[in-house]
A and B are shown apart, each in its own frame.
Chain A
Amino acid sequence: DQQVKQNSPSLSVQEGRISILNCDYTNSMFDYFLWYKKYPAEGPTFLISISSIKDKNEDGRFTVFLNKSAKHLSLHIVPSQPGDSAVYFCAASESRNQFYFGTGTSLTVIP
């Protein structure tokens, strides 16, 4: 049973606009969340994380928002660039022990 869900398999956005990638989870004990980015034929690379004690974390063009009551997190990329085209995975863990990954969202940024 998938504990972390990314319900949008793909997303297309114009260059310069905002990309919003969504992630839902079912386990209320999850207290740490991450986003990974993956290019074809490469391993995932860490992008940004957030602890459950926060509701927002920002790193440059990337911001992650956490809504604990809704068990929902989102990744905002502003402004989107063609190099951001990749598959994005969210992941969640309880006490940073074992991470559960979502199925990924393929982002295409159109020049």
Chain B
Amino acid sequence: NAGVTQTPKFQVLKTGQSMTLQCAQDMNHNSMYWYRQDPGMGLRLIYYSASEGTTDKGEVPNGYNVSRLNKREFSLRLESAAPSQTSVYFCASTPPGSTNEKLFFGSGTQLSVL
């Protein structure tokens, strides 16, 4: 049982390049989330998906797009990367019927934008 799997683990981009961060969970969870963690800022919610086919903005959605491809997969896309998007990105999910109390996190993607 892999849990929440994120790829890639590390990525270096040049300003203006695009890329997609992949996230998949094998726990039959309904809700999925993308967070970013910056020094001195804690984890901030970028986007979330309460169920397949729905997505909503979080605290810091600007510069990102998301796709809930199916129940298992939730991807985060940077169309034109900026140095301000250098961060560690975490994907998370919560079980069906959950009151959102237990976010299960992936191990993160460390992204550097030069």
Contact = CB atoms under 8 A, between A and B. Distances in A.
B24 interface: no
Interface stretch (B66-74, B78-86, B102-110): B102-110
Nearest to A34: B101
Contacts of A97: 100
A98 B45 contact: yes
A2 B101 contact: no
A43 B4 contact: yes
A34 B43 CA distance: 13
Interface residues of A, number: 25
B42 A99 contact: no
Given A93-B100, A97-B100, A43 B42 contact: no
B71 to A, nearest CB: 20
Given A43-B107, A44-B90, A103 B100 contact: no
Interface of A: 2, 4, 6, 32, 34, 36, 41-46, 49, 89, 91, 93, 96-104
Contact of B58 (A43, A98, A104): A98
B42 A104 contact: yes
6 contacts: A32-B101, A42-B107, A44-B90, A44-B103, A89-B43, A99-B45
Contacts of A102: 42
Contacts of B90: 43-44
A101 B105 contact: no
B108 A96 contact: no
7 closest A-B pairs by beta carbon, nearest first, are A43-B105, A101-B42, A101-B43, A96-B100, A103-B42, A46-B102, A96-B99
